[in-house]
Chain A
Amino acid sequence: MPRIACLWVPDLPLCAAVRAEPRLAGAPLAVAQAGDLGGRAHVLGATPLAEGVESGQTLAEARAVCPALVHRQASPERERAAAQAALEAAATVSPRCEEAAPGLVYLDADGLSRLFGDDRGVARALVAAAERVGLRAAVGVAAGKSVALLAARAAAPDLTFEPTPQGIGGGAFRVVAPEEQAAFLSGLPLLAIDLPDELQQTLRRFGLHTLGEVSRLPPGPLAARLGPEGAVLWRLAKGHDGSALAPRPQPVRFEEGEELEWDAQSIEPLLFLWKALLDRLTQRLRARGLMARELLLRLRLADASWDDRAVDLAAPSREVAPLLQLLRLLVEGRPPAAGVTAVRLCAMPVPEVLDQLPLFGPRGASPVQLATAVARLSALVGPERVGQAVAPDRWTPFAAEVARFAPPPPPGVPDEAPAAQLELVARALRPPRTAEVRCDHAGRPLLVIGEGALGGRVVASAGPWRTVAEWWTDAPVALDSYDLEVAGGLLLRASPARPHASRGAAGPVPGGRPGRDAGAAAVARAVRIGFRGGKKTQGRPIGGH
């Protein structure tokens, strides 16, 4: 006989509110309908500390009963996130889950005995998984979905209210063994079942109050009098569950959202909000052994439009501080066009990196440490300034690009470093600096007038070296380069900034020496320093320090 478990989160709006603000768990809290914070809004749920407050009361009535009442507006974003969290909690116990409604999840409990023991162990694991994501759940385990739901509802009176750092705990469970299913069902009152009011009244007029009384009736006449609903009720009373479990693939996005009661016009309130969202998001990721590969930030603006942004993380992470810093940088760099009324944060998950480090090889950063460090560095200096250096496949002097840092696994046995020799290394100047070079009659450079340490008297020089490259593209390159040694020891490779400029005192002559045509006071302006030679020159940058 199959075993189905049902995880049900009663009072979902209340649980979602406490999950979003765990400090409210110790306060008399009521959650009211969304959209109206006036006294006419109806209460949807209240904590036990709000004595006398019941669902269905208006806020004005609730405040009259409990003057210290704290109220929050129901938030669809929060409830959606809480429902997702419930589904993920169920998925940590069994991979075959079906979300029947927000906060109501069925899962296949067959074959879990080696992990959790008997049905009670499965139920305990479900309650604990829900508590880990800040939810208080009632769990039922039975032979079918309907009976499992009834078992979960039967466990609901045993729920307690226990504030936890994540939200609310105090779940309860009820396991209906196959041999006691008939007894369990026969004792259930009809009021415990979601039936239409009209059908409830009809059954009451018939003198039927429990499922056991319904099960003893012949099914044909019952269906003839009550219609198809009567037949369904009879099958339920007999424990015949017609609906099979329909497990669906898990969502690939982890989402948390929150609505603001006013338009946020500055970054500070958003930071508080993001911190709470990231806390909950990373908690869910941790529970599943996942990390965030990418963050998607959706901001609902005051004009009802959505502002979508993506944070492509340099490495998977679930550290709140760097992620928060990245969000801050993202929004500060391009502020939204209007005030923010709601925030939704989605994480694209990837499995946690759990590579084993070598026994004899170098013991370096673990993948998680590495990912966290890259994320922290990205937050510090900007994601476009951290990563693996890559030389682009084109002839552009000192061009460099940044790629994702994904080092290969370390070698099993470390290699011995081969003997090497020092050689001159160029230091790139990005962007290339402009300086002025004065030459003598023969066109030999004499003086570099540049910014800071780049200037000085030229004590030795060589060149020019003509470089022609990229002629096979639409942007061919042809420039002359000079090797200059200025007083103080600095070596420079300089190139005219505009190699194809028209001849004249201000421009160098292509193929010739700077300013040869300009007389004694020849000047070659706009010398670009920091370029290196191309294929037709020495092919090695200089200016090494």
Chain B
Amino acid sequence: MTLPARRLPKDPRALEDLLRTGQVRRAPALSPRAPRPLATGIEKLDAALGGGLARGQLHEIVAPPGAGGTALLHAALAAATRAGELCALIDPADAFDPRRGGIDLRRLLWARPLDPVQALRAAEIALEARFALVALDLAGSAPKSARPRGVIEVVRFEKKLPSPGASPWARLARRAEKHGGALLVLARAAQAGTFASVTIELERGPTLWDGPPGAPGRLLRGVRAIGAVSRHKRMPPSGPLPFHLPLEAP
């Protein structure tokens, strides 16, 4: 309902009450427009994310090996670069293969830090430079495996390795929010905790082979995976999202 200004209460307190109760709202044209999210190109995932990756937010993909985490990261980069956005890929594991199609490499800055500490700093620099999407691939730095029973660990007194700091994720989330870039982190285990506004979890499904085991001409066809948006600050968690990852897209 639109009211002429003369009918609005003259008392500022009464106006505040109306605003608080929702009886009066600011005109949409005057309110700041929400920036368009960055679509990943995966329709069901975009629907679960509310349109795509929100700018100014930290997103996290938690996926075991072979579950499609890297594929999802690349799909987001491909969609964003094809839409004309500038993206940065921080790749401390040096695992990116530029031969793979889909990504407009001219709009992708590829940085290969030497360790995760440098990777976090590089992501911060990329966010400060207002890249639309900064992809931080930490899947190469595997989490510590549990020590088998009966194994005695020899402790050596060596120089302490540089640590990324107490809360690098808080800093990165702040940088993303301040400079309006979407930060997408791929990791094997959850890293950012509550600083991630969105967490996408992927689980590995069965591998698809063609032909009986040992037979000549047996082919790997792809894998199946199940994904879900397990955490979203503005939306409810999604249901299971089945994915089929073929070796080559049809």
Query: Which of A's residues lie within 8 Å of B, judged by CB?
Result: 361-366, 369-370, 372-374, 376-377, 380-381, 385-391, 398, 400, 402, 405-408, 410-411, 414-430, 442, 444, 452-453, 460-463, 483, 485, 488-491, 532, 538-545
Contact = CB atoms under 8 A, between A and B. Distances in A.
Given A385-B113, A411-B84, A460-B209, A372 B129 contact: yes
B64 interface: yes
A406 B106 CA distance: 7
Interface string B68-88: 111110110011101111100
Interface stretch (B16-24, B160-168, B217-225): B217-225
B95 A427 contact: yes
B98 A390 contact: yes
B140 to A, nearest CB: 7
A388 B122 contact: no
Contacts of B118: 380-381
B247 to A, nearest CB: 5
Nearest to A430: B94
B119 to A, nearest CB: 9
29 contacts: A362-B84, A364-B85, A372-B129, A377-B126, A386-B110, A390-B98, A417-B40, A417-B41, A417-B82, A419-B42, A422-B42, A422-B245, A423-B71, A423-B249, A424-B222, A424-B245, A425-B97, A427-B70, A427-B95, A427-B97, A429-B95, A460-B209, A462-B219, A462-B220, A488-B65, A489-B204, A490-B65, A491-B223, A540-B247
A422 B105 contact: no
Interface-centre pick from A374, A381, A490, A542 (highest chain B CB count, 10 A): A381
Contacts of A488: 64-65
B109 A541 contact: no
A544 B43 contact: no
B83 A414 contact: yes
A542 B129 contact: no
B112 A420 contact: no
Given A361-B84, A545-B67, A423 B129 contact: no
Nearest to B86: A364
A373 B126 contact: yes
Contacts of B169: none
B245 to A, nearest CB: 5
Given A385-B113, A414-B83, A424 B223 contact: yes
A381 B112 contact: yes
Contact of B95 (A362, A428, A540): A428
A427 B139 contact: yes
Contact of B111 (A381, A411, A444, A538): A381
Nearest to B39: A417
Chain B interface size, under 10 / 10 to 19 / 20 to 34 / 35 or more: 35 or more
A373 B218 CA distance: 48
B130 A369 contact: yes
Contact of B63 (A365, A463, A545): A545
Contacts of A374: 109
Contacts of B213: 444, 460-461
B71 A489 contact: no
A419 B52 CA distance: 12
Contacts of B109: 373-374, 377, 386-388, 405
Given A489-B65, A490-B66, A376 B220 contact: no
A509 to B, nearest CB: 15
A362 B110 contact: no
A542 B221 CA distance: 10
Contacts of A390: 98, 105
B214 interface: yes
Given A390-B98, A427-B139, A422 B243 contact: yes
B142 interface: yes
B66 A402 contact: no
Contacts of A385: 111-114
B43 to A, nearest CB: 6
B129 A370 contact: yes
B102 interface: yes
Nearest to A402: B110
Given A415-B83, A423-B245, A388 B105 contact: yes
Contacts of B66: 489-491, 543-545
Nearest to B93: A427
Nearest to A416: B83
Nearest to A444: B214
A389 B64 contact: no
A407 B86 contact: yes
A423 B97 contact: no
Contact of A428 (B43, B80, B96): B96
